[in-house]
Structure formats: structure tokens, C-alpha cells
């Protein structure tokens, strides 16, 4: 009985701490601290956010030109580079050089560095051609920006006609946005919802630059 009470108290403390951190993050959005970069690479995180399983429903194809905003340490970047193949490219942006350096090392060790262009900048300063991206990937980014509308408007201009934008958020991350709030921001920029998948550890949404239809690739998981 005492063990159960201790576990309940621990769970309550952890939940309260996460709630407090999330409220603080909501009031003052900020990037993930570079001092905690090792968490992004940890085996525990990779078990609950496996890059291959995350990307399976999105439909990444060989030859695609992918823009990843907020690449972090390159965990998802590596899987994107594998899937676009030798004819495809990945442009990976982040505003923290410490994270980009870790990502660059990861891709070099995986033998995929020639498929990825890293940019140490935000979307406003990035040399991105209009209508150049087949797919845009946002991972735990919107909640780190005080006003995401200018960024999303820029991304809408970078997206090719008929392209898609994939967004994923992890509820245990302090800056994570709920699907409804992310959808509000994306719709305001012109993107149209294709569908959402919700897992215990994350949710994934796919949006389209044009139209408003359900994507047949979005099969696994529970649809919201």
C-alpha cells in the first residue's frame, strides 16, 4: 500500500512539474535548450518516437525535396535522407548551431551527408526558393515560437503546388501544442488539413498546400 501511495505521489509530482513547465513555456516560448540535446538523442526517446514509424504514414518518396524546420540533432533528418534516396535532397534548418553540429556528425557517420544541406538560420533568413519543397516537416517547433504565423506564411510560399506539410508534437515536451491549436495556425497560413494520427507518445498531422482531402497513406493509429 505504501509503495502504491509513493508511486501515486511521484506521478502527481511529475505531472504537476510538467504542467508548470508547460504553462511557463506557453507564456514565454523558446527553443529547446542546447544543454539538453542529449535527451533528443537518447535511446528512451527513440523508443517512443521511432523515426521510421513516424515517417511511414507521411509518404516520403525517393527523389523528393524535403524541407525540415527544427532539425535538432538530426534523428528524423537521418531517416528522411535515407528515404529521399540519391536523387532527393533534405534541407534541414535550426537556429542552434550546437544541435546542427550534432546533426551533421550523425549524417556524416551514416554516410548520408551528401543528401542534406544544413542551414543555421530561421525561415526568414533562409535561402529558400519559392515552390521548391515537395514535403515540409515540422517537429515540435510551433510551440517554441511566440508568433508562428510569419514562419508558416513563408513555408506556404516555399511549398510546391500539391505538396504536403507534416507536423508532429510530443506531449511530454514542454512546448508541445495540441492538434487544434496547430491546426488553427496552419489554416491561417493557407494550409488545409489532410488528417491526424494520435499515438500515446506523439501526434502527427498532415496538411496540404492545396485542397482539403484525406490522405490514403494515413492508415495506422487512431484518427482524430
**5 within a domain of the structure (yes/no):** no
Query: What pLDDT score does 2 carry?
Result: 58
Kindly report which listed range (32-36, 124-128, 142-146, 179-183) carries the lowest average pLDDT score. Answer: 32-36
Instruction: Using the predicted structure, report yes or no on whether residue 37 has a pLDDT greater than 90.
Output: no
Condensed to tens digits (0 to 9), the pLDDT of residues 162-197 reads 999 999 988 777 677 888 989 999 999 999 987 888
Q: What is the CATH number of the domain that holds 120?
A: 3.40.50.150
**134 within a domain of the structure (yes/no):** yes
Domain holding 174, by residue range, is 31-223
Residue 170 neighbours by CB under 8 Å, 6+ apart: 48, 49, 140, 176, 201, 202
**63 within a domain of the structure (yes/no):** yes
Q: Is pLDDT larger for residue 171 or for residue 223?
A: 171
**16 within a domain of the structure (yes/no):** no
**97 within a domain of the structure (yes/no):** yes
Condensed to tens digits (0 to 9), the pLDDT of residues 70-98 reads 999 999 999 999 999 999 999 999 988 98
**175 within a domain of the structure (yes/no):** yes
93, 117 in Cβ contact below 8 A? no
Total domains in the fold of the chain = 1
**18 within a domain of the structure (yes/no):** no
Instruction: Using the predicted structure, report yes or no on whether residue 29 has a pLDDT greater than 70.
Output: no
**3 within a domain of the structure (yes/no):** no
Amino acid at each position: 500500500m505504501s509503495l502504491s501511495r509513493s508511486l501515486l505521489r511521484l506521478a502527481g509530482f511529475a505531472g504537476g512539474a510538467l504542467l508548470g513547465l508547460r504553462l511557463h513555456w506557453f507564456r514565454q516560448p523558446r527553443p529547446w535548450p542546447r544543454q539538453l540535446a542529449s535527451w533528443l538523442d537518447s535511446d528512451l526517446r527513440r523508443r517512443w518516437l521511432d523515426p521510421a514509424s513516424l515517417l511511414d504514414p507521411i509518404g516520403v518518396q525517393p527523389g523528393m525535396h524535403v524541407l525540415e524546420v527544427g532539425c535538432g540533432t538530426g534523428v528524423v533528418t537521418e531517416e528522411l535522407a535515407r528515404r529521399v534516396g540519391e536523387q532527393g535532397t533534405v534541407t534541414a534548418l535550426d537556429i542552434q548551431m550546437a544541435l546542427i553540429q550534432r546533426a551533421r556528425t550523425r549524417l556524416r557517420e551514416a554516410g548520408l551527408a551528401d543528401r542534406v544541406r544544413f542551414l543555421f538560420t530561421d525561415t526568414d533568413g533562409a535561402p529558400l526558393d519559392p515552390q521548391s519543397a515537395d514535403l515540409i516537416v515540422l517537429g515540435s517547433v510551433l510551440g517554441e515560437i511566440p508568433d508562428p504565423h510569419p514562419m508558416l506564411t513563408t513555408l506556404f510560399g516555399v511549398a510546391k503546388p500539391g505538396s504536403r506539410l507534416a507536423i508532429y508534437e510530443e506531449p511530454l515536451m514542454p512546448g508541445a501544442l495540441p492538434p487544434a491549436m496547430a491546426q488553427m495556425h496552419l489554416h491561417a497560413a493557407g494550409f488545409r488539413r489532410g488528417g491526424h494520427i494520435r499515438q500515446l507518445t506523439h501526434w502527427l498531422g498532415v496538411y496540404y498546400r492545396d485542397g482539403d482531402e484525406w490522405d490514403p497513406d494515413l492508415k495506422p493509429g487512431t484518427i482524430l
